[in-house]
Amino acid sequence: MKLIDPIIQFHADIQQIRRDIHAHPELCYEEHRTSDVIAHKLQEWGIPVVRGLGGTGVLGIIRHGTSPRAIGLRADMDALPMQEINTFAHTSQHAGKMHACGHDGHTAMLLGAAWYLSQHKEFDGTVYLIFQPAEEGGAGARRMIEDGLFRDYPMDAVFGMHNWPGVAAGTFGVTSGPMMASSNEFEVVVKGKGAHAAQPHKGIDPIIVAIQIAQSWQTIVSRNASPLEAAVLSVTQIHSGSATNVIPDDATMIGTVRAFSTDMIDLIEKRMRQIAEHTALAFDAEIEFTFKRNYPPLINHARETAFAAEVMRAVVGADRVNDHVEPTMGAEDFAFMLQDKPGCYAFLGNGDGDHRDRGHGLGPCNLHNPSYDFNDDLLPVGATYWVTLAETYLKKSDTAAM
C-alpha cells in the first residue's frame, strides 16, 4: 500500500473521533451532536463550514488555486435503531441506537482526509466534503440536493464509499453501471367479508385472496422480467385474523421489491397492481394497493468509475482492487447524487471481524448486526483514497485529470 505518511501518523486521532461517534449514535435527521463534532473539527482545521443542508448535514469547503473545477466527497453520519450487544469501551451509550453500518468510520475517514487536505493543498480547485444525514431510510442525499447542495455548490463529480464486511480489509470493490439495487416497499390490503369459519360460503375470505395474489406475483420475475435482469419481489409480512373460528374482513401484505433499473421497477409495479386487482375481482373482493419507491438504483458512471479504480490501484495496489465486483441487492441513497452528478460509489473491505476489541458480541461482524464494529485499520486507507482521489482529479496542471 502507498498510504500517506502524515495520515498514518494521524491515525490515533482519527480513531478517537470514530470511537467517540460510535459511542454516541444518532438516528436519521437527529445527528445534532455528530454534526457539531464534524463542524468543530473542520473549523479547527480552518475549513469553512455550511450547515443545515438536509437538516443536520454539514458541508466543508476547501478551495485552492484558480480552477473552477470541483469534486464532492460524501460520507454518511446516521446510526440504526437497534440495540448493540458489544461491551467494549466505545460501545453505544444510547439504548436502542447503534452504529451497525460503519457510518462512524465513513465520517472519520472523510475527516482524516479533510485534516490532511487543509494543510497540504496539492490541488487546483475546490473539494467539497459532504457529511450527509439520514442514509438509513431517510433519503438524506435527496434532502441535501433539494436544499441546494449541487445548485449552490457546483461540483463536476461526486464520489462515495462504504465499508464491506466479509471482504479482505483494505481491498476495494467497484463496478461500472448498476452497483446497488433500488429499494421499494409495498402494502396491499385485501378487503373481503367476514364470516363464521364454519360457514365460509357466507363471506369472502381475504386470506385466500392474499395467498393467490402472493403466489401469482412470483410469476412476474420468472415470466415477465427478462431472465438477464436481476429482480427480487418478497412478501415479508401477512397480517390477518384474530380468532380460529372467524374469517376476517381483511388481510394485509407487506414486502419489498429490488431491481437494478427503473424500467424493471416500472414493470414490476404495473404487473403487481394488475394481478392484485384482477385476482381480487375474481374472488369478489377489493384491494388497496400502495407501492412506495424509496431509493433508485445506484448506477456508477463509466468514466468516473474507471478513474476511481485507477486511484484505488495507486493506493492499495492492483491485486487489491476488484473493478468488476458483483452488485448487491442492498440499496443506498447516494443513488440520488449519482442521478444528478457523474460519479462513483465503491466498497472498502472491512475484514471478517478479527479486528474487534475484546468485549464484542458473539455474532458476526456483518452490517446491521448487533456485534458489528468498524475496522479502524481502514481509517488511513480510506482517508488516503479520498485525498489521492481529490488531488488527482484536481491536479495542478493545464490538463485536468478528467
Mean pLDDT, the chain, integer: 97
Phi/psi of residue 257, nearest 5 degrees: -130, 135
What one-letter code names the amino acid at 387? Answer: V
Judged by phi (left if over 0) then psi (alpha if -120 to 50, else beta), residue 198 lies in alpha
- Burial zone of 60 (CB within 10 Å; 0-12 exposed, 13-18 middle, 19+ buried): buried
Residue 241: which domain range? Answer: 182-295
Does residue 26 contact residue 78 with C-beta atoms inside 8 Å? yes
- What distance in Å separates the CA atoms of residue 116 and residue 109, rounded to the nearest whole number? 11
Does residue 7 contact residue 116 with C-beta atoms inside 8 Å? yes
Number of domains in the chain: 2
- What distance in Å separates the CA atoms of residue 3 and residue 170, rounded to the nearest whole number? 11
Domain boundary among 295, 317, 337: 295
- In residues, how long is the chain? 402
- C-alpha distances (whole Å) from 94 to each of 57, 136, 163, 189 are 21, 18, 23, 36
Phi/psi of residue 15, nearest 5 degrees: -60, -40
**pLDDT tens for each residue of 250-260:** 999 999 999 99
pLDDT at 342: 98
pLDDT at 398: 43
Cell of 74: 460524501
Domain boundary among 280, 295, 310: 295
Name the band, by pLDDT with cuts 50, 70 and 90, for residue 323.
Answer: very high
Question: Do 360 and 261 belong together in one domain?
Answer: no
- What distance in Å separates the CA atoms of residue 214 and residue 316, rounded to the nearest whole number? 47
Cell of 137: 431510510
**pLDDT tens for each residue of 204-225:** 999 999 999 999 999 999 999 9
The CATH number linked to 89 is 3.40.630.10
Question: Do 288 and 332 belong together in one domain?
Answer: no
